Structure 1
Amino acid sequence: MPAKAKTFLIWLVVIFLIYAIVKSPDRSAEIVRALVDVIVNAFKSIGQFFGNLLA
């Protein structure tokens, strides 16, 4: 992909995210909370997996 096209797409995504946050901040906050929960649960699962390997 050409560098200018990649830069344009990145800016397009950033502008869309800013628009989505401004248009619906409550929904954006729910999405962020859900993503954080997924990440935290993934790390807990990985920790539990390695803990069970060592047990």
Structure 2
Amino acid sequence: MPVLAKKILTWLFVGFLVFFIAFRPDGAADLVETIGGLLMAIAQGIGDFLTRLMA
């Protein structure tokens, strides 16, 4: 992918994020909370796996 296309897509993504946060703050907060919960569940699963692996 050419560099210019990557720059354009990056700026479009940033613009979408700003728009989403500005006009749908509740939806943006819910999305961040969901992603955070998913990441925490993944980290917990990896931690449990490593704990059981070492036992």
5+ residue gaps, structure 2, are none
TM-score, normalized by length of structure 2? 0.95
Aligned length: 55
Cross-structure match for 1:44: 44
Hey, which bits of structure 1, 4+ residues long, moved more than 6 A?
none
5+ residue gaps, structure 1, are none
* Percent identity over paired residues: 36
| C-alpha distance in 2 between matches for 1:51 and 1:3 | 44
Cross-structure match for 1:17: 17
TM-score, normalized by length of structure 1? 0.95
